[in-house]
Amino acid sequence: MYAVLTGPVFYLSLAVCFIGMAVRFYLYFRGLSWQLDRVAYKAHPKAGFNGAVRSIYKWLIPFGTYGWRTQPIMTIAFFCFHIGAVAVPLFLAGHNVVLQQKLGFSFPTMGAAMADFLSWMAIAGLLFLVLRRLVLPEVRILTDKKDWGILLLTFLPFATGLAARYQAGDYGFWLTTHILTGELLLFAIPFTKLSHIFLFFASRAQLGMDFGIKRGGMKGTKMAW
Amino acid sequence: MPEGTLCNKQPIDTAEGITTLLADKSGKKYYEEMKHLEVDSDLLWKTIQNTCKSRIRTWLEICAHCGMCADSCFLYQVDGRKPTQVPAYKIQSTLGEIIKRKGKVDADFMIHCMEVAWSQCTCCNRCGMYCPHGIDTGIMFGYLRGLLYQQGFVPWELKIGAGMHRVYRAQMDVTDADFVDTFEWMVEEYEEDFPGITVEVDKENADIMYTVNAREVKHYPEDLAEAAILFHIAGENWTVPSKGWEQTSLSMFAGDWAACKMQVESVYGAMERLRPKRMVGTECGHAHRATVIEGPYWAGRKDGLPPVESIHYVEWLAEALRLGKLKIDPEKRIKQKVTLQDSCNYVRNQGLKNAAREIMSYIVAPGYFVEMAPNKEHNYCCGGGGGFNGIGLYRAQRNQALQKKRDQILDTGAKLVVAPCHNCWDAIRDLEEEYEIGIEWSFLKPLVIKMLDIPEHLKPKEDDL
């Protein structure tokens, strides 16, 4: 089982995730239409580029936009979760040993204490998001089974990873389930709302171009939309 | 009965058609027929496949259901924070559902969609600025309106309004002759007060071609005279076209894209015929949106721009004051608390927040201008945007919608609201009528005229009086 998961399935999950998202990225931008979207993307590349970059950049920064600032508690929970969810998988020392072995490259790594901290921070953020879904009527009405599925898919690699990290019970079991759930997540990315991991950049870039070209950018507005 | 005699999928293309529909008071029979109007599911699904591309599909798909858009929507706020008023829910349960069912929906569902599209969204686009994914629900509702219009599920007044544009190239039954006559006649009325004032129709190569809102011709002709007075005093070389003078587009509110194209092409035609340096439009929000911001796309202009530089009235007025073409008598400036209504259509949707504020700095004595909160791009819709003001069927919802603007105005403590937008002006008038908070409201033109410092040579000579 372990051999299969760290062998062919490992490569397959990465391939499905990255090729799948490359295809979706391509289809997204190919599907943009200046006339249907009513945005002259090609006629004003500079204004469009500036708008897109500003929009992505500002929304990636905690409290970087008016929108984030109006909902501070949500913003804190959101970033606690997302910083952990992005940084831990990419920069955990253990993950990078595997990356080096399997693919011949690795990212800079973080210390164990930092990884623990970010992981718990992500779990705390995620639990807050769950709580929000349960408690707030305006979020509850939007929530469907898929939303819970995605939260579970995201929660499992963290939970199993931490269980393995603290060697709670059978280390081998937790490690195997950690790899399994991590790969499941990778498989799911292109086919579910998890695609937002990549499509966030596409969607934000589009609205940034829209405002940057048509809705203020060319009149000198420099805000992030 | 698949198609009604009044309520059907056919756009109105004749004056008789308009008269017939108008005769059905409040659309009583029209809405009755709508209940039995058959949905052409094949056409609906085909249209979606051809026009609903990656932008909207991705928006619908990646919406994280986080609810961060809820508080951005004033209609959610004034409706007791009902979860069904959350923007994401409104669009997912209408457009999202139609797509999910591949267009196989019935008349009841379409009537529900109509209600949501025209009474629970004014297409103010505010929610788009609060979504981490950049999902603009207002744009999607605009798209949904187009689908509903194509199937005949559109509020009675807007079916008529779109028909008006098709028949008269104006939002009301105002002909080109009516426009020219009214403008000339109104200007003549002021010949004694402003010697030399005139309106030249169809003058070629003028610096400014002025375009209006047909309501001004029909109901507020004074506005035409005021525009002429200000151009005259400012010494502008200006003209109006005898054809293509109407900037507004109820067809945009209705989702009748073919009529939008016809309407805006009539204005662009005037630009191409008269070759002015610039086009200046009147104090209207959606008119500017239709002709200057969205219009180029309907007309198939790849650069997204009108044939000549086109500016909103606030941009022209700010410039005229800045350059000293118009001078204000400091003694006559506004000396009472006054606030400003930012129109969604040219502030949030074209970034023109500074122009009106620059004007306020000239016409209001220091210390009397009070901002609404929030303001500029973050301001709330007046409550009557996107066609909401004009739809009798949703009058109760519209009146409730006015509460947000009422409270914003009350919070400023101002008794005068400057509203350089016809829709906002109407909504604020109606909110005073409905809630009686003791305010006045005004366009910029009449305010500025009252406080002008007119150069001697433009004043009437003593012996003329």
Contact B132 A200 (CB under 8 A): yes
pLDDT at A31: 97
Look at residue B464 and tell me if it is in a domain: no
Residue B361 DSSP one-character state: H
Q: CB of B431 within 8 Å of any CB in chain A? A: no
Residues in chain A closer than 8 A to B297 (CB atoms): 34-35, 38, 40
What's the mean pLDDT in B391-407? 98
Q: CB of A137 within 8 Å of any CB in chain B? A: yes
Q: Is B173 found in the same domain as B143?
A: no
Look at residue A192 and tell me if it is in a domain: yes
What's the mean pLDDT in B165-192? 97
pLDDT at A1: 83
Between positions 8 and 37 of A, the ones with CB within 8 A of B are 27-37
Q: How many domains does chain A have?
A: 1
Q: CB of B100 within 8 Å of any CB in chain A? A: no
Q: What is the pLDDT of residues B412-461, one digit of tens each?
A: 999 999 999 999 999 999 999 999 999 999 999 999 999 999 999 999 88
Q: Is B227 found in the same domain as B94?
A: no
Q: CB of B257 within 8 Å of any CB in chain A? A: no
Q: Is A197 exposed, middle or buried (0-12, 13-18, 19+ CB in 10 A)?
A: middle
pLDDT at B461: 81
* Whole-angstrom distance, CA of residue B394 vs CA of residue B117: 11
Which residue in this structure is represented by tokens 């990549």? Answer: A198
Between positions 380 and 419 of B, the ones with CB within 8 A of A are none
Which of A23, A203, A218 best tests the B interface by mutation, with the highest count of B CBs <10 A? A203
Q: CB of A105 within 8 Å of any CB in chain B? A: no
Question: ipTM of this predicted complex?
Answer: 0.95
Contact A207 B134 (CB under 8 A): yes
Domain range for A63: 2-216
Q: Is the pLDDT of residue A218 over 90?
A: yes
Q: Is B175 found in the same domain as B148?
A: no
Look at residue B219 and tell me if it is in a domain: yes
- Nearest-CA distance from B276 to chain A in Å? 21
pLDDT at B1: 53
The token pair at A147 is 């939303």
- Is the N-terminal amide bond of B155 cis, ω within 30° of 0? no
Look at residue A28 and tell me if it is in a domain: yes
Residues in chain B closer than 8 A to A35 (CB atoms): 297, 300
Look at residue B461 and tell me if it is in a domain: no
* Whole-angstrom distance, CA of residue B290 vs CA of residue B157: 18
Q: Is B171 found in the same domain as B130?
A: no
Look at residue B407 and tell me if it is in a domain: yes
Confidence of residue A224 (pLDDT cuts 50, 70, 90): confident
Q: Is B413 found in the same domain as B344?
A: yes
Domain range for B382: 331-450
Q: Is the pLDDT of residue B341 over 60?
A: yes
Contact A221 B353 (CB under 8 A): yes
pLDDT at B263: 98
- Cβ-based neighbour number of residue A113 at 10 Å: 8
Q: CB of B45 within 8 Å of any CB in chain A? A: no
Q: CB of A66 within 8 Å of any CB in chain B? A: yes
Confidence of residue A182 (pLDDT cuts 50, 70, 90): very high
Look at residue B320 and tell me if it is in a domain: no
How long, in residues, is chain A? 225
- % pLDDT > 70, chain B: 99
Q: Is the pLDDT of residue B298 over 80?
A: yes
Q: Is B190 found in the same domain as B55?
A: no
Look at residue A225 and tell me if it is in a domain: no
Q: Is B206 found in the same domain as B146?
A: no
Look at residue A190 and tell me if it is in a domain: yes
Among B460, B348, B365, which Cα is nearest to B416's? Answer: B365
Q: Yes or no: say if B153 and B114 are a contact pair by the CB < 8 Å rule.
A: yes
Q: How many domains does chain B have?
A: 3
CATH code for the domain in which residue A141 is found: 1.20.950
Among B260, B262, B318, which Cα is nearest to B289's? Answer: B260
Look at residue B33 and tell me if it is in a domain: no
Look at residue A6 and tell me if it is in a domain: yes
* Whole-angstrom distance, CA of residue B297 vs CA of residue B103: 26
Q: CB of A220 within 8 Å of any CB in chain B? A: yes
Between positions 118 and 157 of B, the ones with CB within 8 A of A are 128-136
Phi, psi of B443 (to 5 degrees): -75, 175
Confidence of residue B330 (pLDDT cuts 50, 70, 90): very high
Look at residue A164 and tell me if it is in a domain: yes
End-to-end CA gap in chain A: 48
Look at residue A175 and tell me if it is in a domain: yes
Q: CB of A145 within 8 Å of any CB in chain B? A: no
The partner residue sitting opposite B51, judged by closest CB among A36, A203, A210, is A36
Q: Is B307 found in the same domain as B193?
A: yes
Mean predicted lDDT score pLDDT of chain A: 96
CATH code for the domain in which residue B446 is found: 3.40.50
CATH code for the domain in which residue B150 is found: 1.10.1060
Q: Is B130 found in the same domain as B53?
A: yes
- Cβ-based neighbour number of residue A151 at 10 Å: 16
- Among B261, B282, B311, the domain boundary falls at B311
Q: What is the pLDDT of residues A140-170, one digit of tens each?
A: 999 999 999 999 999 999 999 999 999 988 9
Look at residue A127 and tell me if it is in a domain: yes
Look at residue B45 and tell me if it is in a domain: yes
Q: What is the pLDDT of residues B172-184, one digit of tens each?
A: 999 999 999 999 9
CA nearest B63 in A: which residue?
Answer: A193
Between positions 289 and 328 of B, the ones with CB within 8 A of A are 293-294, 296-297, 300, 302-305
Helices (H) and strands (E) in chain A, counts: 12, 0
* Whole-angstrom distance, CA of residue A66 vs CA of residue B280: 32
Taking the CA of residue B132 as centre, how many other CA atoms within 13 Å lie in the half-sphere pointing to its CB?
A: 26
Q: Is the pLDDT of residue B464 over 90?
A: no
Look at residue B406 and tell me if it is in a domain: yes
Q: Is the pLDDT of residue B465 over 60?
A: no
The token pair at A40 is 């002259």
CA nearest B81 in A: which residue?
Answer: A138
Q: Is B190 found in the same domain as B79?
A: no
